[in-house]
A and B are shown apart, each in its own frame.
Chain A
Amino acid sequence: RKEVEQDPGPFNVPEGATVAFNCTYSNSASQSFFWYRQDCRKEPKLLMSVYSSGNEDGRFTAQLNRASQYISLLIRDSKLSDSATYLCVAGWTDKLIFGTGTRLQVFP
């Protein structure tokens, strides 16, 4: 079983749509959680940290459920520029464990 599991997608959505990604992690000792964005053949870039209380950054909302070991990312009002692969990440000690990513394609 992978340590961080995500639906690989792709999710094909029209501009303006709301899309949600889910992720589960297996290590209950995980301490920190993040969503990263990775464009094709580029390095990952931090999108946002994820907290138990839930947090929002503009059109992006992240939620963490420690009991279920579940993380989510909601993107509202999708833009063409949101097309990318979204990586769910769980951290413990000083390590980051990456999921394989969920591919999002936003079309006009």
Chain B
Amino acid sequence: GAVVSQHPSRVICKSGTSVKIECRSLDFQATTMFWYRQFPKQSLMLMATSNEGSKATYEQGVEKDKFLINHASLTLSTLTVTSAHPEDSSFYICSASREEGSSYNEQFFGPGTRLTVL
């Protein structure tokens, strides 16, 4: 149990295009979903936290108009990178938690999406 999928696993796009990444909890309802970004040889950096049916909470320095997050159901969250540029190239990972409000709640990670912007 507690499987999280991401789609696509890899995407290459031209500068200026928008890319949508899906994160799904396959066998449980995810009250909270998290989006992380990881640059090579760096740590996972939390970008935003989203709870089903409400607006995402973005971390400091993350542009909410550039990284659009939608958490429309308890099993699906999407991250759209708008007008992507080469500096947005990174490994994007989502995670999902059954409950909200505490870091004690285990987060189940998706396999990640590798974005390359040319």
Interface size on B, residues (CB 8 A): 26
Given contacts A45-B109, A94-B97, whether A87 and B102 have CB atoms under 8 Å apart is: no
Question: Which one of B32, B44, B100, B106 contacts A87 once the chains associate, using CB atoms below 8 Å?
Answer: B44
Hey, what's the 0/1 contact readout for A82-105 against B, CB within 8 Å counting as 1? 000001000111111111110000
Question: Which one of A42, A95, A101 contacts B43 once the chains associate, using CB atoms below 8 Å?
Answer: A101
Contact of B43 with A4 in the complex, beta carbons under 8 Å: yes
Contact of A31 with B104 in the complex, beta carbons under 8 Å: yes
Contact of B114 with A41 in the complex, beta carbons under 8 Å: yes
Question: Which one of B91, B101, B110, B111 contacts A94 once the chains associate, using CB atoms below 8 Å?
Answer: B101
Cα separation A32 to B104 with both chains bound (whole Å): 6
Q: Does A44 sit at the interface, judged by CB under 8 A?
A: yes
Contact of A92 with B44 in the complex, beta carbons under 8 Å: no
CB nearest to B105 among chain A residues: A94
Residues of B within 8 A of A44 (CB): 44, 93, 109
Q: Does B25 sit at the interface, judged by CB under 8 A?
A: no
Cα separation A41 to B110 with both chains bound (whole Å): 12
**Across the A-B interface, how many residue pairs have beta carbons closer than 8 Å?**
58
Question: Which one of B41, B43, B102, B112 contacts A43 once the chains associate, using CB atoms below 8 Å?
Answer: B112
- Give min CB distance, B43 to chain A, whole Å: 4
Cα separation A41 to B111 with both chains bound (whole Å): 9
Q: Does B107 sit at the interface, judged by CB under 8 A?
A: yes
Cα separation A95 to B49 with both chains bound (whole Å): 8
Hey, what's the 0/1 contact readout for A6-45 against B, CB within 8 Å counting as 1? 0010000000000000000000000110000000011111
- Give min CB distance, A53 to chain B, whole Å: 16
Cα separation A10 to B21 with both chains bound (whole Å): 32
Question: Which one of A31, A32, A97, A100 contacts B42 once the chains associate, using CB atoms below 8 Å?
Answer: A100
Cα separation A4 to B43 with both chains bound (whole Å): 10
A-side interface residues toward B, CB under 8 Å?
2, 4, 8, 31-32, 41-46, 87, 91-101
The 5 sampled A-B contact pairs (Cβ below 8 Å) are: A32-B103, A41-B112, A44-B109, A95-B49, A98-B45
Given pairs A42-B112, A94-B97, A98-B43, 20 additional interface contacts (CB within 8 A): A2-B43, A4-B43, A41-B114, A43-B110, A43-B111, A44-B93, A45-B109, A91-B103, A92-B103, A93-B101, A93-B103, A94-B103, A96-B46, A96-B107, A98-B36, A98-B44, A99-B43, A100-B42, A100-B43, A101-B43
